Amino acid sequence: MSAIHPSELSFITRHAPFDRMELAHVMWMMERMFLGYYAEGEVIVTPEQGPVDRFLVIKQGVVHGEQNVAKASEADTWLELGEGECFPLGALLANRRVASVYRAGSDTFCYELPAAEFRELIGMSSAFRDFCTRRIANLLEHSKQVIQAQFSHSSVEQQSLASPLSAIIRREPVTCAPETSVRKVLGVMREQRIGSMVAVDMNSRPLGIMTLHDVLDRIAIPQFDLEQPVIKVMSTQLSSLPPQALAHEAALTMARHGFRHVLVVENERLVGLVSEKDLFALQRVGLRQIGSTIRHAETPEVLQQAAADIRRMAHNMMAQGVAPEQLTQFISTFNDLLTVRVVELELAASGLLGTPLHDRLCWMALGSEGRFEQTLNTDQDNAIIFETPPGMTPDQVREKLLPAARRINETLALCGFPLCKGEIMACNPKWCLSLEEWKRAFSAWIDGGSPESLLHASIFFDFRALYGTEHLAEELRQWLSQYARSNARFLRQMAANALRNRPPLGLVRDFVLNDENRLDLKLNGLAPFVDAARIFSLAAGVPQTGTLQRLRLSAPALHIPAAEVEAWINALLFIQLLRLRHHFEVSDRQGGEKAQPLDNLIDPGQLNELDRRILKEAFRQARKAQAKLALDYQL
């Protein structure tokens, strides 16, 4: 390209990654590009051409990628690229031939850069290099910044929950010896203007902590002798995290246990102290207060208010740029706390606390709650597993437990968790079973289940213990891991079911839409990843239930490259980000109240160009995950 016209430069710098590159690098690239024309139907790049010899950016038109992915019966193309998109990055970076045939879907013009200059540009521009090597992660980060700007007018100086604790520690910890008198410790706290004191041994290992809250409860009110050693009034149940742990982990620890401080410990030595104020003074998110309210609630009305507080907290975190992985963990953690408190209250009201039945039951979360992937739009999916006491039958146990389970399900509904339309709830006798009955149910699904019954049963493979005798769920998980892994027919049937739900990439349009011209982000976007991860984890014997954990931990056993798995994860997280944003926007329009049930349906025509582009890429990654399933099980 001899001379660069201003309109050409304007076009190229509207698209990622060129919008983030230094202008000199963009100019250098464009000076070396030439313009190629391809008539509709003409092949642009094909595997038969050998290693890729050029980098292409679509100036005008549409390019289709054609590949027999998972032997799909539909005629849809593998991918569709539009103006501003570039290809084929993977083949260029690996200096190999492409895996797909790239064909012009209409009369198409492409800017083309020879492979040698492409590699030179990678060495020259860090922004270009980052995009090419971390394509979807780079696009996701770009979109997150746009979304954060849309959601918040707050200061850019707000503390990020993705920060390591080492970056949050404000000062060296003030410590004392365990034998120091209470009087002396109180004097130091007043002099230093600190709200806590940690006792350490000679090797700086923490032994106990005293806070201003303890001063009132353990010293002032009981009139404790101030000359006594301070260790006698200290809390010795300490919670610690390493310096590299992230702020959101400390926040979750505080929320779960009601702590106000978390010790930062490295090699058993105290190196810092992080308080709730450190984490949330700028963010105005009182996680511990919400957790404390839930733990001490005595009525459903208090829990209803706490559920509303959880939704407001989640909205604030979205505005502060908290990543979707962390945000869904927060939502699920607080929903766990709320559910546990509902179970406690209703079991007490039913007279079951302290009985042999109470000590032999476990309340289990299923589905998205079982995977720690809840958003604001979530109904109930739960079950009970129990151990039959001597002298009783499972039916007699059910007769005692089902009325309490009904009360629990109804109270959860009052707190904003709708009853499951499919009745996958603990109050359904089908899902209130003994350990042996659960094993028989899973055996029936695995050994002889029809495709339809397996599709229905897939939600049960995501169970985890939430309350009660957790070892029952753990024993079931260990048994299931061995049993499912050894049945190749079952895994192949699960894979066939998963491949029935194709990501909605279209041949004529970017996306295949429903009758209302919308996409279902949960069914069409998240489910392909969730289903694939479930099958990978069963095949690899991975006990975790979270989709991201399943993907990461299954990859080595199934020989999936780490970079490929991270691309799938970033794609999933972007779809979850869009889903969360949609829920918050609908909730805001309704004044924060759920006047109408939230859905997962979006109109891609309402997305900005960047988000549409990333969503297409995310669906392509879903197809790649499905291609792995198809290859493994010869489907």
Whether the pLDDT of residue 72 is over 60: the answer is no
Q: How far apart are CA 467 and CA 338, in angstroms?
A: 11
Q: Is 256 exposed, middle or buried (0-12, 13-18, 19+ CB in 10 A)?
A: middle
| Poorest-pLDDT segment among 91-105, 555-569, 581-595 | 581-595
Q: Is the pLDDT of residue 431 over 70?
A: yes
Q: What is the pLDDT of residue 136?
A: 64
Q: How far is the C-alpha of 495 from the C-alpha of 490, rounded, in Å?
A: 9
Q: How far apart are CA 65 and CA 475, in angstroms?
A: 47
Question: Of 423-432, 491-500, 514-523, 562-571, which gets the smallest average pLDDT?
Answer: 514-523
What mean pLDDT value characterizes the chain?
86
- pLDDT for the residue 156: 37
Asked if residue 132 has pLDDT above 90, the reply is: no
Which of 168, 363, 142 lies closest to 249, judged by CA? 168
Let me know if 46 is exposed, middle or buried by CB neighbors in 10 A (0-12, 13-18, 19+).
middle
Amino acid at residue number 100? S
Summarize pLDDT for 563-602 with one digit per residue, the tens: 899 889 989 989 998 898 888 777 766 655 444 567 899 9
Would the pLDDT of 281 be above 50? no
Q: Considering only CA atoms, which of 135, 142, 231 is closest in space to residue 182?
A: 231
Point out which residues pair with 111 in neighbouring strands: 35, 57
Q: What domains can be seen in the chain, in order of their start residue?
A: 6-133 (2.60.120.10), 165-280 (3.10.580.10), 287-441 (3.30.460.10)
CB 294 within 8 A of CB 334: yes
How far is 122 from 113, CA to CA, in rounded Å? Answer: 12
Q: Which of the residue ranges 42-46, 249-253, 316-320 would you say has the lowest mean pLDDT?
A: 316-320
pLDDT of residue 82: 83
pLDDT digit string (tens) for 150-209?
554 433 334 456 678 887 786 788 999 999 999 999 999 988 878 889 999 999 999 999
Q: What is the structure's pLDDT at 151?
A: 53
Instruction: Name the pLDDT band for 247 (thresholds 50, 70, 90).
Output: confident
* Window from 232-236, 266-270, 397-401, 586-590 with minimum mean pLDDT: 586-590
- Given this model, what pLDDT does residue 437 score? 97
pLDDT at 594: 47
Other Cβ atoms closer than 10 A to 523: 14
Q: Cα separation of 83 and 63, whole Å?
A: 9
Question: Which of 416, 146, 188 has its CA nearest to residue 306?
Answer: 416
State the residue for tokens 């100019």: 27
pTM above 0.75, yes or no: no
β pairing state of 196-200 and 175-176:
parallel
Instruction: Please compute Rg for the chain using Cα positions.
Output: 28
Cα 350–chain centre separation = 36
pLDDT band at 512 (very low <50, low <70, confident <90, very high): confident
DSSP state, residue 49: G
Q: Residue 149's pLDDT is what? A: 54
- Alpha-carbon distance of 479 to 473, in angstroms, equals 10
> Can you tell me the mean pLDDT for 246-263?
83
